[in-house]
Chain A
Amino acid sequence: MAMIVYHSGNSLLHRLDPRVKMILLILYTMVVFGVKSFSILGILFALVLLLWKSAGLPLSRLKKYLAYLTGMIVFLIIIQSFFLPGNINLVKPIFPEGFPILPGRGFVSLKGIVMGVLLGFRLFVLIMLMPTFIMTTTVNEMAVGMVRMGLPYKIAYLATTSINMIPSLQDEATTIMEAQKMRGFSVFEEGRFREKMKAFPALVVPLVIGAMRRAQAMGVAMDARAFGAGKSRTYRLTLKMTGSDWAVFFLMVLLAALLMGGAFILDREVSLWNRL
């Protein structure tokens, strides 16, 4: 049921220092955003896939992610092909030249389609990237990692608690939808997109109110146990960068630099489809 939960294991990725993982996650997110070339994205995709495999993460999840993203990707392709001007249009512009806001737009450009596919691919690689950190790092490791990188403990606690809340919120969402099914409400299963959007409050209102009640109760429970009373605190879990942590870190940074460099060199590939 839960899409993002810690997946126990003892792979290299699991053993890696959480700080290294966090920095690399941010770095590679930027790389994925910065790359416009299909080949480099392909290499990134293969790399992340390799990480998934080596960490023993369930590859069946990827299918689910793709299923969730399909709508979004189709939307991106449509929007891009409609509004991104290119040289080859499959359909003549719907809006005339003098049209306000969107003069001469509303075509189906080949370039837009390619751009849409690229954005979709990029999105998928990004979504794949997250679990390599979240599913291989315990919440404790994340918290201590963040604190050691200089974040205030309260912020680290906030971040990790929200991650902990995800599975229980998912459970709650299921329960709410069950309750509504029992009242003859079948929009979430068989409704059309517009109906689903209209039905959204029925799910979100109880979920948000429940989360707020819970957060309030949690705040009281934390205060009752003197949360934040100590000026500086110690941790049971201590982190120490080992030689292999450093090695992985530098290797991955180097690789990221290479990929960015490669993307720069492959600029010709980009300009190729840019001409479409």
Chain B
Amino acid sequence: MSIIDIKNMSYVYPSGQRALRSIDINIGEGEFVAVIGQNGAGKSTLMKTMTGLLKPTEGEVCIEGKGSDEYTMARLSTRVGYVLQNPDRQLFSNTVREEIAFGPRNLGVTGEELEKRVDETMKSVGIGHLAEEYPPSLSKGDRARVAIASVMAMNTKILILDEPTGGQDFEGRYQIMDIVRELNRQGYTIIIVTHAMSLVAEYAGRVIVLCEGEVLIDSDSRSVFSRPDLLRQTFICPPQVVELSRELYRESGSTAIELTVDDLADAILRKMQ
């Protein structure tokens, strides 16, 4: 069943700048989608139309079968969770606990139920020990986690993350992506915007490539990274391991690729045995 259905949607900013052009995207429940493309390709605008922050100029965006303009913002915020690129723009409470309780409290959740929800959310992203800390004083990785938790606490089915790994070190990136993958396994529909192609190859099941406001490719990650010619149009390079595997397979006349280092290593080992 499709949970987000975008039909022939265009978006033009009030300044007259056309950001999106006749977009058709259908996202099913439980998918893990990565949206990639150059800066200015329209990724953030697309995310904002999915969250209802922007209303499409033409066409429509349906969330769970209803047009985004039929929801009030408060209603929509219980369906779609949106984690901003910069966590510092959404943290303002005195403690991590209060920060996470802010969203559900707005929805009228109180008392024990609220406590329970906050505790569970903190546990699932691994920040239970930071409950009484002051959010701005946390490390960048922890701030990102608090931001994710604060949105998760809304109990939405859809989670949209705008560059969740931006500015994180190598370890931090994988920690965050592991949390996201775990959420996906629990049933969340995940949509992430990112520039880290290796993470896309490793985690996302489906990739949507945006180029100048239009969908260039929309397919599973293997097919997308098999089209380096097309990706070059929007200045995207597949991860190095994908390129390496392509070269290796080419020797044997195959067009196959491997998406991760582990996959390639396995393939080589199999070949050697």
Contact = CB atoms under 8 A, between A and B. Distances in A.
Interface of A: 172, 175-176, 178-186, 189, 201-206, 209-210, 213
Q: Chain A binding site: helix, strand, loop or mixed by DSSP?
A: helix
Contact of B74 (A178, A184, A204, A206): A184
A118 B77 CA distance: 45
B89 interface: yes
B264 to A, nearest CB: 39
B151 interface: yes
Given A175-B89, A181-B73, 6 more contacts: A182-B151, A184-B77, A184-B103, A184-B104, A184-B154, A205-B92
B82 interface: yes
Contacts of A182: 51, 53, 77, 80-82, 151, 154
Contacts of B136: 209
A217 to B, nearest CB: 13
B145 to A, nearest CB: 16
Counting chain B residues whose Cβ lies within 8 A of the other chain, the interface size class is 20 to 34
A183 B84 CA distance: 12
B88 A202 contact: no
A255 to B, nearest CB: 38
A210 B89 contact: yes
A189 B51 CA distance: 17
A190 B72 CA distance: 11
A229 to B, nearest CB: 31
B91 A206 contact: yes
B254 interface: no
A183 B92 contact: no
Contact of B89 (A172, A185, A201, A204): A172
A155 B91 CA distance: 32
A183 B88 contact: no
Interface string B80-113: 1110101011111000000000111011000000
Contacts of B175: none
A182 B91 CA distance: 13
Nearest to A184: B106
A257 to B, nearest CB: 44
A179 B103 CA distance: 11
B88 A181 contact: no
A59 to B, nearest CB: 18
A155 to B, nearest CB: 29
Nearest to B150: A183
Nearest to A208: B92
Contact of B88 (A178, A180, A204, A210): A210
Contacts of A176: 89-90
Q: Which 9 A-B pairs have the closest CB atoms?
A: A183-B103, A184-B106, A205-B92, A179-B90, A182-B82, A184-B77, A206-B92, A184-B74, A184-B107
Instruction: Among A181, A186, A213, find the residue whose CB has the most chain B CB atoms closer than 10 A.
Output: A181
Nearest to A201: B92
Contacts of B77: 181-184
A178 B106 contact: no
